[in-house]
């Protein structure tokens, strides 16, 4: 199944889309990677979803990526004697370690890590910012605040801390148990929620021991301030605009989105734009014009992937939402303005052999206009460097490692094919020509570009670029 667009689609599975026939429909509609949200999935359900996705993969014959998204810390206030209380702007309200039911003067905050970290002058946002508090005095047992906006608080509402860096890392006991379960399954990406600083990734990497590449979700102001360091420590990045829009002024989010996508592209790391992209399609068969423009902006910006959350997980129109996102992406990529916009943001290559070969391949492709660029990649690094160039031609990623092909399903423009390793240089070129034809990218007498590393089977040694002519005699070769 060949996609006719470069940007990839990441679809979240949930109650509306957990059965195998629906997963197949979503893939056929355009989903390249499936997200399992560990906030809602038990270990048994996770295993079931992985098995169903792999069944669809085997039936379709194309590598499909799976991203497991950790819940991260869920910070919530305690309960009230009357379930909720009314407050007034300007009044004082205290969050403390007293487990007694709350009233209109105080409530329990069962998170000692917050009480230890909050300082006077820090903001605390309750219930996605509907209630806003400003700390005026704090110690290890209480935070005395002033209400600055909002007038109501109820049981167990979430707490956001835009100004506070918690000493504890983003992994909770639940996350650790989830990782242990995920390590036994065929998962391709691990998404880490509520990253604050690059040190947060060190702990996770020690646990996963290279089994998963790590995708860091940028959803806190602290992460934006440490963006470059977090990108350098991550394998991919997600612009998680939901929580980001709670903890920062909403008018700042579009600019931050562009900053993140461009920084990730410079580093050659995949970047996903997520949250509320087609939100109205949870309950409507068509999106709003504003949502179409939102998806289009991410495509024009050159994001590697765009993500559906509740639209595909719990909405009434999951297949239609994926098909709509697919249609929008195809239309934008055919826009005459698209190449000039996406290619103008192309970053300068690094002084490495892989970058030099990828740059040369892209420049030659613009002169010769071959049918495709074929890149051999065992670990995925060569494919990432080629995708970083955002060439106008299709990229065929050939790998003998199925896990690599699945991971690259998240990456812009790469059509992945799993095949046995080439025996020698001639076999490598012949195999590239044959696969380019079999996958529908080339015809007899076309030219393709082939990048690889010599000697073969040496990871990280991309140093060869070859222009290959497809012999008509190879057309029927299997």
pTM of the predicted model over 0.75: yes
| Pair 414, 368: CB distance under 8 Å | no
Angle (nearest 5°) at CA 269 between 265 and 390: 50
Tokens found for residue 415:
């059509």
| Pair 56, 87: CB distance under 8 Å | no
Task: Count CB atoms within 10 A of the CB of residue 267.
Answer: 17
pLDDT at position 478, please?
42
Task: Using the predicted structure, report yes or no on whether residue 406 has a pLDDT greater than 70.
Answer: yes
pLDDT at position 159, please?
95
Which whole number is the average pLDDT over 198-225? Answer: 93
Task: Count CB atoms within 10 A of the CB of residue 14.
Answer: 22
Distance of CA 203 to the CA centre of its chain: 20
Which whole number is the average pLDDT over 437-454? Answer: 92
* CB burial readout 144-154, b (16+ within 10 A) else e: bbebeebeebb
Residue 476 pLDDT grade (very low, low, confident, very high; cuts 50, 70, 90): low
For 251-295, how does the pLDDT look when each residue is reduced to its tens digit (9 = 90+)?
999 999 999 999 999 999 999 999 999 999 999 999 999 999 999
Locate tokens 């060869």: which residue?
Answer: 464
Where do the domains of the chain lie, and which CATH numbers do they carry? 8-72+171-344 (3.20.20.60), 84-160 (2.40.33.10), 353-474 (3.40.1380.20)
Among candidates 388, 443, 439, which has minimal Cα distance to 416?
439
Q: For residue 148, how many C-alpha atoms fall within 13 Å in the half-sphere facing its CB? A: 14
For 70-98, how does the pLDDT look when each residue is reduced to its tens digit (9 = 90+)?
999 889 999 999 999 999 999 999 999 99
For 105-120, how does the pLDDT look when each residue is reduced to its tens digit (9 = 90+)?
999 999 999 999 999 9
| Pair 462, 431: CB distance under 8 Å | no
pLDDT at position 104, please?
95
- Helices of type H across 108-252: 112-117, 173-182, 199-208, 221-225, 227-233, 241-247
Task: Count CB atoms within 10 A of the CB of residue 447.
Answer: 18
Question: What is the helix (H) or strand (E) element at residue 236, kind and residue range?
Answer: strand 236-240
For 355-378, how does the pLDDT look when each residue is reduced to its tens digit (9 = 90+)?
999 999 999 999 999 999 999 999
Among candidates 141, 145, 178, which has minimal Cα distance to 161?
145
| Pair 247, 222: CB distance under 8 Å | no
Q: Name residue 190's beta-bridge partners.
A: 68, 214
For 135-174, how does the pLDDT look when each residue is reduced to its tens digit (9 = 90+)?
999 999 999 999 999 999 999 999 999 999 988 778 999 9
Among candidates 378, 360, 351, 350, which has minimal Cα distance to 458?
378
Task: Using the predicted structure, report yes or no on whether residue 461 has a pLDDT greater than 80.
Answer: no
For 305-355, how does the pLDDT look when each residue is reduced to its tens digit (9 = 90+)?
999 999 999 999 999 999 999 999 999 999 999 999 988 888 888 888 889
Class of residue 167 by CB neighbours under 10 A (exposed 0-12, middle 13-18, buried 19+): exposed
pLDDT at position 170, please?
81
Tokens found for residue 478:
């299997």
Q: What are phi and psi of 340, to 5 degrees?
A: -65, -35
Tokens found for residue 301:
């910006």
Which whole number is the average pLDDT over 446-473? Answer: 84
- In angstroms, the CA 51 to CA 38 distance is 16
For 17-71, how does the pLDDT look when each residue is reduced to its tens digit (9 = 90+)?
999 999 999 999 999 999 999 999 999 999 999 999 999 999 999 999 999 999 9
> What three-state secondary structure class fits 377?
coil
């Amino acid at each position: 199944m060949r996609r006719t667009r470069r940007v990839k689609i990441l679809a979240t599975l949930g109650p509306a889309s957990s059965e195998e026939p629906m997963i197949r429909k979503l893939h056929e509609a355009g989903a390249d990677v499936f997200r399992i949200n560990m906030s809602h999935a038990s270990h048994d359900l996770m295993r079931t979803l992985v098995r169903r996705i792999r069944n669809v993969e085997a039936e379709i014959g194309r590598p499909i990526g799976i991203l497991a998204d950790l819940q991260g810390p869920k910070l919530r206030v305690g309960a009230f004697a009357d379930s909720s209380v009314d407050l007034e702007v300007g009044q004082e309200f205290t969050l403390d370690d007293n487990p007694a039911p709350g009233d209109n003067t105080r409530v329990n905050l069962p998170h000692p890590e917050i009480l230890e970290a909050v300082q006077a002058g820090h903001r605390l946002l309750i219930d996605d910012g509907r209630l806003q508090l400003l700390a005026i005095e704090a110690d290890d047992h209480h935070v005395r605040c002033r209400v600055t906006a909002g007038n109501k608080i109820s049981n167990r509402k979430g707490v956001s801390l835009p100004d506070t860096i918690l000493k504890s890392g983003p992994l909770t006991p639940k996350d650790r148990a989830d990782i242990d379960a995920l390590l036994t399954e065929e998962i391709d990406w691990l998404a880490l929620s509520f990253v604050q600083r690059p040190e947060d990734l060190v702990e996770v990497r020690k646990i996963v021991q290279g089994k998963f590449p790590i995708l860091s979700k940028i959803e806190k102001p602290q992460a934006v301030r440490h963006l470059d360091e977090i990108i350098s420590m991550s394998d991919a990045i997600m612009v998680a605009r939901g929580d980001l829009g709670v903890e920062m002024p909403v008018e700042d989010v579009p600019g931050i989105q562009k900053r993140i996508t461009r920084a990730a592209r410079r580093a050659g790391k995949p970047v996903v734009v997520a949250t509320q992209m087609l939100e109205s399609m949870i309950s409507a068969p068509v999106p709003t014009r504003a949502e179409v423009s939102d998806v289009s902006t991410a495509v024009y910006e050159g994001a590697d992937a765009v993500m559906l959350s509740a639209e595909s997980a719990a909405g009434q129109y999951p297949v239609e939402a994926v098909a709509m996102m697919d249609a929008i992406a195809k239309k934008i990529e055919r826009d005459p303005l698209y190449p000039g916009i996406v290619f103008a943001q192309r970053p300068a290559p690094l002084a490495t052999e892989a970058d030099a070969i990828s740059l040369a391949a892209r420049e030659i492709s613009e002169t010769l206009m071959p049918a495709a660029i074929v890149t051999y990649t065992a670990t995925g690094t060569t494919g990432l460097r080629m995708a970083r160039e955002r060439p106008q031609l299709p990229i065929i990623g050939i790998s003998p490692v199925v896990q690599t092909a699945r991971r690259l399903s998240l990456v812009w423009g790469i059509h992945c094919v799993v095949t046995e390793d080439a025996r020698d240089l001639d076999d490598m070129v012949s195999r590239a020509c044959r696969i380019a034809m079999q996958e529908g990218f080339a015809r007899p007498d076309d030219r393709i570009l082939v990048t690889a590393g010599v000697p073969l089977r040496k990871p990280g040694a991309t140093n060869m670029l070859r222009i290959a002519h497809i012999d008509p005699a190879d057309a029927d070769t299997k």
